[in-house]
Amino acid sequence: MHEISIAGAIIDSVLECAKKNDAKKVEEVFIEIGELTALNPGQLKFIFETITKGTVAEGAKYDIKIVKPQINCRKCSYSGNIEFFEKLHFFLPIIKCPECSDADIDIIAGRECCVKKIKIS
Ligand SMILES: [Zn+2]
């Protein structure tokens, strides 16, 4: 359940941004979440709704985009998407290159967890 601490950090930054911009209300929050974070968007939304009660972000909509993981292989220089054949049960799964099965790879996408923008009024 690392969703709770991550959701808290996301809402903190949303509220800080809303305050800086003198927002009366946060209408919508656009978030990007990498698939490798194994975060559950439904659960995140539920936590957002709960912890924003009584703040300017109460009742905001959440647009959560899931980012597919991408890697660069250091061995065969494959670059692109990887696929998972089973659901992620671990926070940091072992990722291998789909071309040469080597684990010497760089993850270039799929670990993000950030607020892209917010819509305020
Ligand atoms: Zn490779």
Mean pLDDT of 65-78: 95
- Record the tokens describing residue 101, joined without a space: 């099965």
C-alpha of residue 102 to centroid of ligand 1, in Å: 6
Q: pLDDT category, 104, cuts 50, 70, 90?
A: very high
Classify residue 16 by burial, with Cβ atoms within 10 Å: 0-12, 13-18, 19+. Answer: exposed
Mean pLDDT of 107-114: 92
Could you tell me the pTM of the whole model? 0.83
C-alpha of residue 79 to centroid of ligand 1, in Å: 8
Short-list 69, 26, 85, CA closest to 51: 26
The pLDDT value recorded for residue 82 is 87
Q: pLDDT category, 92, cuts 50, 70, 90?
A: low
Give the whole-angstrom CA distance, residue 58 versus residue 77. Answer: 46
Q: What is the pLDDT of residues 14-60, one digit of tens each?
A: 999 999 999 999 999 999 999 888 899 999 999 999 999 999 999 99
- Record the tokens describing residue 97, joined without a space: 């290159």
Mean pLDDT of 85-102: 71
Structural domains of the chain sorted by starting position, each given as residue range(s) with its CATH number in brackets: 3-68+110-120 (3.30.2320.50)
Tokens 């089973």 locate to 86
DSSP class of residue 82 equals -
| pLDDT tops 80 at residue 84 | no
C-alpha of residue 66 to centroid of ligand 1, in Å: 24
| DSSP three-state, residue 47 | helix
C-alpha of residue 96 to centroid of ligand 1, in Å: 8
| pLDDT tops 80 at residue 86 | no
C-alpha of residue 75 to centroid of ligand 1, in Å: 5
Neighbours of ion ligand 1 (CB under 5 A): 73, 75-76, 78, 97, 99-100, 102
The pLDDT value recorded for residue 37 is 87
Q: How far from chain centre, in Å, is Cα 22?
A: 26
C-alpha of residue 35 to centroid of ligand 1, in Å: 20
